[in-house]
Amino acid sequence: MVRTVYAPESCLQYLEQYAAQEKFGIGLILGQITDSRENVIHLARTPEEKVSDTISEGESLLERVESMAAVSEAWVADHAKHVTRMLPGGMFVLGIFITSEEEIFDNTNASSKVKSVLNYMHKVLNVNPHMYGNCPGTNEKLVLHYSNKTVVCKSIEVNSAIKGLGAKPVDWKFTPKECQWQRLDTYYEFDEVYPVLVKKNGISVKDQFQQIVEEAQKALEVSVMFIDGELKDRSDPLDQLVKKKKPKNAKSASTDPPKSMMVSLFVPFESSMPETVEYLECDGSIHFSGVVASSVFLYPKATVKEAEAAVKQDIIRSLTSRFTMHCDALIDDNLLPEEKVCFNEPPRRVLIPVGSLYLCDYLFPGEAPAEALLSVRELLDLHVAAAAVLCGAETPADTSEFDALDRDASTEELATPQEASQAMYIIGISVALLVLVVSILVHYYSDIRRAVGNVV
């Protein structure tokens, strides 16, 4: 059975634009794969690679690629890695597109280069599993070749032992209407405390964030998803849930887009408790607190099971993306042991409209929406007005608690681990004595009541 992929006509216009310039072009295919249908949402041309620093006139010297042989595997893979951060859960880099008059699939050298690019991209996206760079369940990537004469799409299995290209035909269809997406929104709250151990070279911020992501993923894996406050059958299509909610007198031919569904994730109590209790003498702790705003978009006939996977992917991908960006922006990854209190504020999420759905970007504290437009223009090849960027999904961090801690740390020395454990021991004894006194009083009061009852 031939694989079928659907793309909006805006993608055809995008390809025609570059083909008309008679220049070689390569870029990424962004989309979603579900059991019911494969949809492309956008084509993003890979920016030209910088080959040197700024020249005398203040302009960057860019390397113009004229053929498939000159394409840098690392540059395309790096583009895919950065674009993946901007995709909501359930969306992936499905492959690459090429605009040129050069024959891609029948030319041995060109086809070999195509497979090399796909293999390298797959490898880079697999380095960090928390980013969900590669679409789970498949090792095939799409290759779309467009010229003024033909449109040919094939799927290629990556990291396989197959010699040659091993391409399979794909039926690529441009549709006049954009896909009607079902939106699912959720706000997932974090409020956890993690231990910190000081090593010889200090405390690695990256390692601490990695621990947070791993713990968050464990909790999400066992969490139960409710849609609009109800537990749904995982095999139900999303559009059936929308139909059940519509009143009987509603117009069946309504063209209004489906309303957003509110999602809640609950971690079972027994799963939130540790399997074993271990005494660990720590040098400090990290209080990780905040809310991740999540908006995912799925094909309406996607199942509740697929929607659940997309929501969980989105939360973990978002955490991983902003932690990575935060660590990359740090001058020194190590926190020195003598630092008493340190406040880290990763970038917050903003939404970027792309057709009838939203992709995302991240803004550091103090950055304006215009900063996000630079990434959108360079990585997605889109021109979006600053007013269209939705910045209200997540609010800036509240630093009042940190400010109070910082003031206390500047005037008082923090207790050593031994002093802290002694303090906890004293508190524990006090609580035990209080419980003992209360139990004696209750017992004594009950004896008096029984005695009075006997007299009466």
Q: What is the pLDDT tens value at each position of the chain, 456 positions in all? A: 789 999 999 999 999 988 888 788 999 999 999 999 999 999 999 998 876 554 444 444 556 778 899 999 999 999 999 999 999 999 999 999 999 988 899 888 999 999 999 999 999 999 999 999 999 989 999 999 998 778 999 999 998 766 767 889 999 999 998 888 999 999 999 999 888 877 766 678 888 899 999 999 999 999 999 999 999 999 999 999 987 766 655 555 445 566 899 999 998 877 666 677 777 778 788 888 899 999 999 999 999 999 999 999 999 999 999 999 999 988 777 665 555 677 888 999 999 999 889 999 999 988 988 888 999 999 999 999 888 999 988 887 776 666 665 666 555 444 444 443 443 443 344 444 444 444 544 454 455 444 444 444
Q: How far apart are CA 50 and CA 68, in angstroms?
A: 17
Classify residue 162 by its DSSP letter.
-
Tokens of 143: 């290759």
Q: Taking the CA atoms of the chain, what radius of gyration do you get in angstroms? A: 28
Cα-to-chain-centroid distance, residue 7: 23
Q: How far apart are CA 161 and CA 436, in angstroms?
A: 71
Q: How far apart are CA 131 and CA 313, in angstroms?
A: 8
Cα-to-chain-centroid distance, residue 199: 30
DSSP labels for 12-43? HHHHHHHHHTT--EEEEEEEEE-SS-EEEEEE
